[in-house]
Amino acid sequence: MYKSLIRPFLFKFDPEEVHHFTFSFLKNFGFLAKLFLPKPIEDKRLEREVFGLKFKNPVGLAAGFDKDAKLFSELSDLGFGFIEIGTLTPRPQPGNDKKRLFRLKEDSAIINRMGFNNGGVDEAVERLKKNKNVLIGGNIGKNKVTPNEEAVNDYKICFEKLFPYVDYFVVNVSSPNTPNLRELQEKEPLTKLLGELQKLNFEKPKPKPILLKIAPDLTDEQLLDIIDIVKETQIAGVIATNTTLSRENLISENKSETGGLSGKPLTKRSTEVIRFLSDKSGKAFPIIGVGGIHTAQDAIEKLEAGASLVQLYTGFIYEGPELINEINQAILEKESI
């Protein structure tokens, strides 16, 4: 239904316009989507307990789709086991100039250089107060105008404000679209950033899981550093991976646009990163696997490589909400073998 009817229509328009249109549609007519789409699979065997949280199924929505926490309830109704909001920054910011989102149809991919456009953490908090029972991850970042030396404060502000309203946190230092942000992935600044957040966290009566989201473009040496940092700062886990700067083997017209590449061209590399982290750490911490999941098999491969949960973004745009059920069905079949 989605691929044969809805996608061909949506793909005729500008991707960012379609994003806003889909948002308003789901917000106002989400009940229609429920009528036409298959019912989400609910099954006890899909439940997972990871970093102390109970997930109704292991398939989540990745950060960047519902940046401002406007649609988490409707998206959860589509079957996602958890929704990651953000990246949020302390103050609202417009992001980069448009056009900044590009479909690479022949590659089943997207290039984006959105630049953390968001309405700021305060507005999101007001919306999250209305959350009834959706499991929410809060993905946090820094404002573009904040220099890296002061970045810790931005993360701390978002952490404190979101703390009562999210179930886990994601420290995003891996977006390629905020100048110099990825420098915060280096050992010294990253240890400091995570250490300071953990300090705040451990002062709470009930600390919450903090995860680190990493780029797929890190070298093996940098990945080994990440393992050390996770152990040293005792954060709860890693999300692997964000978008890539690589442009290997692309054929689409838009392939030379600046920004982060997501979708099918990322599938293999993000699975490699998951496997590397899992093997080299001796499965020391949970990993959320994300990057180029377009089929149930892609998700299974990430789970087999060591991920405890998976997330979708580009695959959700290309394959539609049916992909959630397909993955959960495949997991059930795999477990009953």
Catalytic residues: 175
Do residues 75 and 135 touch, judged by C-beta distance below 8 A?
no
Applying CB under 6 A, which of residues 40, 58, 60, 64 lies at the interface with ligand FMN?
64
- Greatest Cα pair distance, the chain, in angstroms, is 53
Cα 314 from Cα 319, distance rounded (Å): 8
What distance, in Å, lies between the first and last C-alpha atoms of the chain?
A: 29
Find out whether 258 is annotated in a ligand binding site. no
Backbone angles phi, psi at 177, to 5 degrees: -105, 0
Report if residue 172 touches ligand FMN, rule: CB under 6 A.
Answer: yes
Applying CB under 6 A, which of residues 313, 318, 321, 331 lies at the interface with ligand FMN?
313
Question: At its nearest, how many Å lie between ligand FMN and the CB of residue 181?
Answer: 11
- The residues near 98 (Cβ < 8 Å, ≥ 6 apart) are 16
Residues from 137 through 166 that contact ligand FMN (CB under 6 A)? 139
Residues from 235 through 254 that contact ligand FMN (CB under 6 A)? 242-243
Instruction: Considering the complex, state which of residue 249 and residue 336 has its C-beta at the smaller distance from ligand FMN.
Output: 249
Applying CB under 6 A, which of residues 290, 309, 323, 327 lies at the interface with ligand FMN?
290
Nearest of 144, 236, 153 to residue 193 by alpha carbon: 153
Find out whether 318 is annotated in a ligand binding site. no
- DSSP label of 178: S
Find out whether 292 is annotated in a ligand binding site. yes
Report if residue 178 touches ligand FMN, rule: CB under 6 A.
Answer: no
Report if residue 292 touches ligand FMN, rule: CB under 6 A.
Answer: yes
Nearest of 30, 52, 37, 28 to residue 5 by alpha carbon: 37
Residue 156, exposed/middle/buried by CB under 10 A (0-12, 13-18, 19+)?
A: middle
Do residues 216 and 244 touch, judged by C-beta distance below 8 A?
yes
Find out whether 289 is annotated in a ligand binding site. no
Report if residue 125 touches ligand FMN, rule: CB under 6 A.
Answer: no
Stretch that binds ligand FMN, among 41-49, 202-210, 290-298, 302-310 (CB under 6 A): 290-298
Report if residue 90 touches ligand FMN, rule: CB under 6 A.
Answer: no
Report if residue 89 touches ligand FMN, rule: CB under 6 A.
Answer: no
Instruction: Considering the complex, state which of residue 35 and residue 273 has its C-beta at the smaller distance from ligand FMN.
Output: 273
Sign of the Cα pseudo-torsion (54, 141, 293, 282, in order): negative
Residue 93: Cβ within 10 Å count: 17
List interacting residues with ligand FMN (CB under 6 A).
62-64, 67, 86-87, 101, 110, 112, 114, 116, 139, 172, 175, 213, 242-243, 262-263, 266, 290-293, 312-315
